[in-house]
Amino acid sequence: MFKPAGTVPIGIFDSGVGGLSVWKEAIKILPGHNFIYFADSAYSPYGPRSEEEIVERSAKITEFFISQGVGMVIIACNTATSAAIAPLRERFAIPFIGMEPAVKPAAALTKSGVIGVLATKGTLSGRLYNRTLNLFASDVKVVEVVGTGLVPLVESGKTSGKEVEDLLEKYISPMVDMGADYIVLGCTHYPFLRDAIQKIAGESVTLLDPAPAVARHMYKVAKENKLIDPIGRDNILGVNLYKSCYMDTQFFSSGSTAILERMARKVIPEIPDSCFKSKRLT
């Protein structure tokens, strides 16, 4: 069914709550727009799962989005982007935007010639990441670390405290010891650990989160595809107007909504209970 520009929802999905870090940036750029967020929490994390299973889950989520009138999908998960964005684009006639660790800007900005990449095993072994690495980081030393256990911590609502810092110490300190002055947050869950990571890395190390760049790209693609009202949008681009848009996102989870509610309300405390729903996809 045709919908006028400005009313077509944009879908955002992740294996869990990590993609809320992308949603947070998206609503800064398009306050008041309709978003639908899907946390595939019953299948989280995606990292250990096969590429075929990730593609299957991503397709089911996309089918659900389309049934809700979504006109564009943001794959707010590095692992799902690497595994599924190509087959999704072949199968569905809507735009897809994916995630990619911010290796290119880190390699361009480093003064020490050493950058760190904290990511999941699936991301570090993925085609997109390694293509970016070969294209843009061949002249710098890249210290790659698999953040085992970090996603489950965030999925349980733990973003600070001794347990978090003890695990991060194992991952971040070796990067810093090897001279990294930029650390790429290669999983959408990791920005929720930003304060703890920065504390361990020190103020001389810059953390790079690709979410703001993804949100800017979302705006460009949405405008090109007439999914947003072009009148007046440029005047508010980048303005933090959270309060104007908290009623315009619907949140779904394939598992419990408890952590999704808790983490979303770290961004906007006033989100009403009615915005959260469980949705099993079979």
Average pLDDT, the chain: 90
My answer on whether 224 and 89 are in the same domain is yes
My answer on whether 66 and 118 are in the same domain is no
Assess if residue 2 is contained within a domain: no
My answer on whether 230 and 178 are in the same domain is no
Q: Is the dihedral of CA 235, 23, 33, 100 positive or negative?
A: positive
My answer on whether 53 and 69 are in the same domain is yes
pLDDT 10s digits, 156-178: 989 999 999 999 999 999 999 99
- Please give the tally of structural domains in the chain: 2
Closest alpha carbon to 258 in 47, 41, 27: 41
User: 169, 184, 208: which is the final residue of a domain?
Assistant: 208
- Above 60 in pLDDT, residue 263? yes
The predicted model gives 24-45 an average pLDDT of 93
My answer on whether 182 and 244 are in the same domain is no
Instruction: List, by residue number, the catalytic residues.
Output: 77, 187
User: 208, 232, 267: which is the final residue of a domain?
Assistant: 208
What confidence tier does 230 reach under pLDDT thresholds 50, 70, 90? low
pLDDT 10s digits, 52-72: 999 999 999 999 999 999 999
Structure pTM?
Answer: 0.88
What confidence tier does 233 reach under pLDDT thresholds 50, 70, 90? very low
My answer on whether 94 and 215 are in the same domain is yes
What confidence tier does 255 reach under pLDDT thresholds 50, 70, 90? very high
- Above 50 in pLDDT, residue 3? no
The predicted model gives 83-103 an average pLDDT of 95
CATH of the domain at 186: 3.40.50.1860
My answer on whether 81 and 221 are in the same domain is yes
Assess if residue 5 is contained within a domain: no
Integer angstrom CA distances of residue 62 from 15, 20, 91, 153, 261: 13, 17, 10, 27, 22
User: 208, 235, 264: which is the final residue of a domain?
Assistant: 208
Size of the chain in residues? 282
Residues 6 or more apart in contact with residue 151 via CB below 8 angstroms:
15, 16, 18, 44, 45, 47, 120, 187, 189
- Above 70 in pLDDT, residue 110? yes
What's residue 125's pLDDT?
86
The predicted model gives 241-245 an average pLDDT of 42
Nearest-angstrom CA–CA distance, 27 and 213: 13
Domain containing 138 equals 103-208
My answer on whether 89 and 215 are in the same domain is yes
The predicted model gives 197-225 an average pLDDT of 95
